[in-house]
Structures are given as structure tokens and as C-alpha cells.
Amino acid sequence: MQLKVKDLIVDTPSLFTQERLNIQLEPGECLVVQGEMGCGKTSLFNTLVGIAKPYAGQVLFNNISFELLNELDVIQLRKSQGVIFDRPALLSNQTVEQNLLLCADRFYQDDSHLKHAEQLSFLINEFNVSHLLTLRPHQLSQSQSSIIAIIRALFHQPSILLWDAALSGLDNLSHERMLKKLFDLKQEGVSLVLFSDHTREMHHLADQVLRLKKNEVPGHEAI
């Protein structure tokens, strides 16, 4: 999926208030966003995923803006996006399996529901978490919670993945496994937008890097 950020000003006092941000990311490319705490990374992430509205400018996915869509079309667009927040945000009154199936229940209420439930099973096996399905979120480690959030974002085979605090909170084995998965997704043509300060790993993935500093013009470069 193509991502275009056109003349964007994020509505936060700490992030390029006077400078307009322009980005173009093609299918299969990776944009890494880095910056110190308080520079506006979360505000930018929330704007890209449509939680927050930009102060000015546009965020376009395949030349389509959330702001111009009706509710049904927004759901269709979100099906093509995988979003991972810095906190897993699992429902505490649901088991892991129920948390994962909520995704299929929300987006696929037609005959494709079974197909996507099967995709969940594939990811559960790929990440080796079948033993966690009956547990509640409070019984999971931080790394396990993060893996469940990753599976939830990948189950509908998105064409773009947006991940806040990418690779954070994972144990060493899961970290390496997920890094390989990111390379595989990129090879499959999935666009990646990774907010991460894991500089060494991200350098090998990145096609573009956006470096944010508080109250300074963002530095944007191609690799």
C-alpha cells in the first residue's frame, strides 16, 4: 500500500509546529520514525492511523483519506491496515483467544469469517502461542502480550503495518523472530511504518528514516 503524507502539521506544540511534513512510501518500503521522548512520535502515529486529525495537511493511503470516507468505507480501509500500539490494549475480561477472534468478528461477518479465523490459527502456530489461548491478559508476560497484539494486527494480512514502539517489550527469542517476520512482510510487498529506537535492527530494514527532535525541523532521509 502506498502512503502519502502531504504538507502535514500535527496538532501538538512539540512537533514541527511551523514545518510541513511530506512523505511518500511505496508498497514494500519501510519508513522508520525515531526521536527522543516528548518530540511528538505518538502524536504523529495517532495521526497516521486516523485516531487524531491533522492540524493541516493530509494522510493518504493509496490516495484515499480517512476524512473523506463514510463509516463503511473506513472499515474497508482499516481491513488493509495492521496497527500495533505501544501497549497491547487487550480486553481484560476476555481470554487471549476471544481477544483475537474479536478482530474476525468485527471485520468479517460474511462467509469470509471462517477463512480469516483459519488465518488466525496459522499465526497462532507460527508464533507458537497456542498454550496461551485460554489465559487472560493479566496472566501474560509483557512479551507474550506484545506477541498477541502483533498477531491481532497481522491476522487479516494487511498491506501496510504501522507499529508504535516497534520491537519493544519482546524477549530475545521473540525479538529475533519478529525481526525476521518484518523482513518477510517487506519482501511480500507490505509497507512498514515503524516507530522505533532500535537503531541497529531498523537500519537494515529502513528505506527512509524520519528523525524527530523537540521544537526542531524533522530530518527525513532516504537510505
Q: Compare 136 and 118 and report the one with higher pLDDT.
A: 136
* 138-182 pLDDT per residue, tens: 999 999 999 999 999 998 889 999 999 999 989 999 999 999 999
- For residue 107, pLDDT over 70 is answered with no
Q: Residue 108 is placed in which grid cell?
A: 468479517
What are the C-alpha distances in Å from 171 to residues 105, 113, 156, 177, 192?
Answer: 30, 32, 25, 10, 21
Q: Which residue has the cell 480517512?
A: 66
Is residue 210 within 8 A of residue 23, CB to CB? The reply is yes
pLDDT at residue 85 in the model: 93
pLDDT at residue 198 in the model: 72
- pTM for the model stands at 0.89
Q: Compare 193 and 115 and report the one with higher pLDDT.
A: 193
Cα 145 to chain centroid distance, Å, stands at 15
| Encoded amino acid at 202, one letter | M
Q: Residue 63 is placed in which grid cell?
A: 490516495
Q: Compare 14 and 36 and report the one with higher pLDDT.
A: 36
Is residue 16 within 8 A of residue 218, CB to CB? The reply is yes
Look at domain 3-222 and name its CATH class. Answer: alpha beta
d(CA 54, CA 35): 19
Rounded to a whole number of angstroms, the CA Rg of the chain reads 17
Q: Could you state, in order of their start, the residue ranges of all structural domains in the chain?
A: 3-222
